Structure 1
Amino acid sequence: MEEKMQHPVVGSRRVDHLKEQDDSLTLNYGIEDTPDFVTTVVLGFQNVLTAFGGLVAVPLVIAGIAGFGVTDTAYMISAALLVSGIVSIIQSKGFGPKKFRVGAGIPTIMGTDFGFVGPANAVINTMGGGIAGYLGGTMMGALIEIGLSFFVKPLMKFFPPVVTGSVIALMGMTLMPVAFEWVGGGVGAANFGDPFNLIIASFVFLIVLGINHYGSKRIAPAAVLLGIVIGYLVCIPLGMVDFSQVAQAQWFAFPQLFKFGINFDLKFAIPFVAGYLVTIIETVGVMQTIGEVTQTKLSDEDIANGVRADGVGSFIGPALGSGPVATFSQNAGLIPLTRNASRSVAIAAGVILMLMSFFPKFATLVSIMPMPVLGGAGILMFGTVAGAGIKSLSRVKMNNRNLLIVSSAIGVGLGVAFRPEVVAGLPGILGGLFSSGISAGTIVALVLNILLKEEK
């Protein structure tokens, strides 16, 4: 694998003020760097593996809500992978003229989001729209997000370091329960919390930790991939992998436009409005997090372009039979852990996702990976996101005002994340905005930043 010069200033968008001689700031591959082909593919596949659970979980749930059989469920999963690959490339590369650019141009993985599952159930079953109503409603809702993306720039002045640092730290903290759900064996698993699952997760955790810290500069960036592969292989003779699902999967599948039909009725778009507002808030936070860990100075326009890519992806997805997409935060934890911020690697991951969508057998082979294997790697990935937020806050002067903002944002965010039923009764859009710990904490930080006067 090609070795790059390790210096904290690589590429035209690298943050110039990060001049501390701190090894934690050193990236093997900066955002503008392009590793050799083999390295790019290996690191790209690593991105795919760490995000795969989230990529397939939502289409599985939506298919269950719609009452799909095996064939239609498999198609929806393949469509989700295809759309994730396409939009990941758009977000990571960036396309279009300056004023109408789509994509932030930073290494990002996109995928379907759980925030739309509740509204989907309401449209499909309660409102009687079926899957066609769900797809039509999300497409119309995506137009709202695209329109609002042009108003993100004026709002960025309300995101000073005390707000962004709080959001980044909160993002890692609220993701940790997800990692431990994987550690336990996955929600709903018959053997959830079995000590053997904890042993497997601990084994993978130690492998990733050891390779990342003691591995050479050629091996360390692939620590997560190696840990997951080794853990997967160990689980096979232990009887934790069921290959019968692979045998049942098709060899090849081709995407179809509007396979499940489409219904553009405005009433089916209304339940998704709050979901798209939450997505905008969370995308801003993820963009700032990725900018922090890639040592890239993002302009307000870059972040607006990232939100716009979310909207465009959410318009493309339903047309191909998938759902709306959002910017995944898993990649934010993977970047500092592997010291790889290359945009080319994220684009390669997008290509791999697209290829996997055409070959369901291969996608199924990845999807049957035991959850504790992914959980062992997830602890480190999500922990590094929280660490990046804490590091960002360390550069903020902790006077009384700023301490109140940080404490309130993290307190409310974690409270909502751990006890979402407390805010479940909030009416309408308010309930949607506070349905996520990240969005709830962000809103609190934004409001307090406006209300509390700056100390002289």
Structure 2
Amino acid sequence: MESKLEKRVGILKDEQEEILSNEDELLYGVEDSPDLITTSVLGFQNVITAFGGLVAVPLVIAGMAGFGVADTAYLVSAGLLVSGIVSIIQSKGIGPKGFRVGGGLPTIMGTDFAFVGPAASVIATGGIAAYFGGTMLASLLEIIMSYFIKPLMKYFPPVVTGSVISLMGMTLMSVAMDWAAGGVGAANYGSPLNIGIAVFVFLIIAVVNHYAGKKVAPLSVLIGAVVGYIVCIPLGMVDFQQVTDAAWFAFPQIFKYGISFKLEYALPFVTGYLVTVIETVGVMQTLGQVTKTELKDEDIAAGVRADGVGSFIGPILGSGPAATFSQNAGLIPMTKNASRKVAIAAGFIMILMSLFPKFATLVSIMPMPVLGGAGLLMFGNVAAAGIQSLSRVKFNNRNMIIVAASLAVGLGVSFRPEVTAGLPTFLSGLFSSGISAGTIVALLMNIILKEKEVVEQTA
């Protein structure tokens, strides 16, 4: 018979678990449809948190191609246009079963830095037309690979996926910290003012997210960013001259800079697409966890396929390859908003911003420390989601080694990327990203280290 004390302890335990469950409950699930204003505002919040990544690669590519102000602006607009289109496709999921494109989870798409390295050599050899032709041709590889994701998913048990999710958040911390310091190469990098602004935004987001009501808490990142932005104006940290110089309208053009289809231009990008496949699988699994969605292997394959299709579409309009961004995986657990309608709204906002460069520029001049304060919390949430996933894994000797090896190599490469420079080109590209390096190591260790059979000893 249970004693009264044991019963009371049991009741208290159940009540505590119910409270924790309610705290973790999403305000908007994947299928939910917030009202139009809420959807639009939350969608804009998604765009702001990803904006640095959305425009960074087009700016780098423009520099490699020796473009002037007008052509650079066009590349940024084209990047936003394609990101918007592919974000809608990825978030909605279109097409019949077996050929579906898009995982159907709230996702923001953009061009990944995995393609910047090979882009430098290709542009130097064949110009910007070679870059567009090479990435477009090589994107067919990712589309083909998406049909082989399902048999590969058996090599992604919880110990591997948890390690990858944790690693994804941890490796992005250095990016957020660079933003908080003022951005790589900034003359005032790490100044007390920059750090102070980042801390200020960080605290606003944390306090609003924790204490505000259900209607305001999901907007915590946007509120923090807007307040930080406004505070930076009298401090002379916002240059509105760039907004004045930007054009009012920008219309997309088909193959504006030409295109050159040659195998020699496509081969350098093969490694970038392999890295993208690995990272997209990780992002999709993270999104599945934070949106409380049970993903099927076909859903992850459709997500990878959206990357490939987006990368094929991009060069037609003047943008680079598309990749699934991880920012939303950190934003969702903070805002408790997992509605795909919000991500689709973000896609339409990006399309509108691409057509009206002044509006896009107004966002792009947001001081880096503001993004840094938001980024630290978001990427920290991704790492925390991975730790939460690993907490459900039995930490025997085998699993401990898998987690340790994945984090050690992934973080090691992230902290010291130059360590892979001396490897053969293919391996150097494959291990150039901390996320891909750690994922590959986790997969290999999972295959090499077999589960030990537990032999029961009978008396």
Give the equivalent residue in structure 2 for 1:157: 154
Match of 1:204 among 201, 212, 219: 201
Query: Is 2:388 aligned against 1:391?
Result: yes
Structure 1: how far apart are the matches of 2:331 and 2:237?
26
Distance in 2, Cα, partners of 1:447 & 1:24: 37
- The whole-number CA distance in structure 2 between the counterparts of 1:392 and 1:24 is 17
After TM superposition, the structure 1 = structure 2 runs for residues 355-394 of structure 1, keeping only pairs within 5 Å, are: 355-394=352-391
- What is the rounded CA distance, in whole Å, between the counterparts of 1:137 and 1:352 in structure 2? 29
**By how many angstroms is 1:23 displaced?**
3.9
* Distance change (3 Å), C-alpha of 1:108 and 1:19: farther
Shift of 1:431: 1.1
RMSD: 1.0
Structure 1 CA distance, aligned partners of 2:349 and 2:206?
A: 26
Structure 1 residue 22, shift from structure 2 partner: 2.4
Selected match of 2:133 from 130, 133, 136: 136
The 3-state SS of whatever aligns with 2:213 is coil
For residues 82 and 287 of structure 1, the distance between their equivalents in structure 2, rounded to whole angstroms, comes to 22
Superposed counterparts of 1:186-225, under 5 Å = 186-225=183-222
Identify the match of residue 347 of structure 1 among 344, 347, 353. Answer: 344
Residue 172 of structure 2: aligned partner: 175
Partner of 1:107: 106
Q: Which of the residues 323, 328, 332 maps onto 1:331?
A: 328
TM-score, normalised to structure 2's length? 0.94
Aligned to 2:36: 37
* Matching of residue 407 in structure 1 with residue 380 in structure 2: no
Q: CA deviation at 1:429?
A: 1.5
Aligned to 1:302: 299
> After superposition, what is the alpha-carbon deviation per residue over 1:180-206, rounded to whole angstroms, capped at 9, x for unaligned?
000000111111111100000000000
| Residue identity in the other structure for 2:146 | S
3-state SS of 1:182 partner:
helix
Normalised by the length of structure 1, the TM-score is: 0.95
Shift of 1:20: 8.7
What is the Cα deviation at residue 19 of structure 1? 8.5
Give the equivalent residue in structure 2 for 1:185: 182
**What are the residue-to-residue correspondences of 1:43-82 with 2, within 5 Å?**
43-82=42-81
AA in 1 matched with 2:73: A
Q: 2:416 aligns with which of 412, 415, 419?
A: 419
Q: Which position in structure 2 is the counterpart of 1:261?
A: 258
Counterpart residue type for residue 286 of structure 1 = V
Matching residue of 1:281: 278
State the Cα distance separating 1:21 from its structure 2 match: 4.5
Aligned to 2:225: 228
**Alpha-carbon distance in structure 2 between the residues aligned to 1:23 and 1:332:** 20
Structure 1: runs of 5 or more not aligned: 1-17
| Aligned pairs (5 A) from 1:416-455 | 416-455=413-452
Q: Secondary structure at the match of 1:98?
A: coil
Match in the other structure for 2:3 = none
2:242 is the alignment partner of 1:245:
yes
Say which SS state the counterpart of residue 384 (structure 2) adopts.
helix
TM-fit CA distance, 1:425: 1.3
Letter in 2 for 1:425: G
Q: In the aligned structure 1, how far is the partner of 2:266 from the partner of 2:317?
A: 18
Deviation at 1:432, TM superposition (A): 1.1
**Distance (Å, rounded) in 2 between the aligned partners of 1:22 and 1:455:** 35
- Secondary structure of the equivalent of 2:94? coil
Post-superposition shift, 1:455?
2.5
For 1:312, the aligned partner's letter is V
What one-letter code is carried by the residue in structure 1 that aligns with 2:58? P
Runs of 4+ in 1 over 4 A off after TM superposition: 18-21
The percentage of aligned residue pairs carrying the same residue is 73
Q: How far 1:246 moved relative to its partner?
A: 0.5
| Distance in 1, Cα, partners of 2:18 & 2:318 | 47
Q: How many residue pairs are counted as aligned between the two chains?
A: 437
- Provide Cα deviations, 1:124-173, integer angstroms capped at 9, x if missing partner: 11xx2100000000000101110111111100000000000000000000
**Structure 1 counterpart of 2:6:** none
Tell me by how many angstroms 1:24 deviates.
4.5
1:99 is paired with a residue whose SS is coil
Post-superposition CA distance 1:66-123 (Å, at most 9, x none): 0000000000000000000000000000000101000000000000111100100010
Q: In structure 2, what is the Cα distance between the partners aligned to 1:282 and 1:58?
A: 17
Q: Are 1:121 and 2:110 an aligned pair?
A: no
Give the counterpart letter for 1:147 in structure 2: I
Using a 3 Å threshold, how does the CA distance of structure 1 residues 394 and 136 change in structure 2: closer, same or farther? same
Residue deviations 1:308-348, cap 9 Å, x none?
00000001111100100100000100000000000000000
One-letter amino acid of the counterpart of residue 77, structure 2? S
Amino acid at match of 1:49: I
Q: Distance in 2 between matches of 1:177 and 1:265?
A: 37
Q: Which residue pairs with 1:91 in the alignment?
A: 90
User: 1:146 is matched with which residue: 130, 143, 146?
Assistant: 143
Q: Which residue of 2 aligns with 1:11?
A: none
Task: State the secondary structure of the residue aligned to 2:28.
Answer: coil
Residue identity matched to 1:255: P
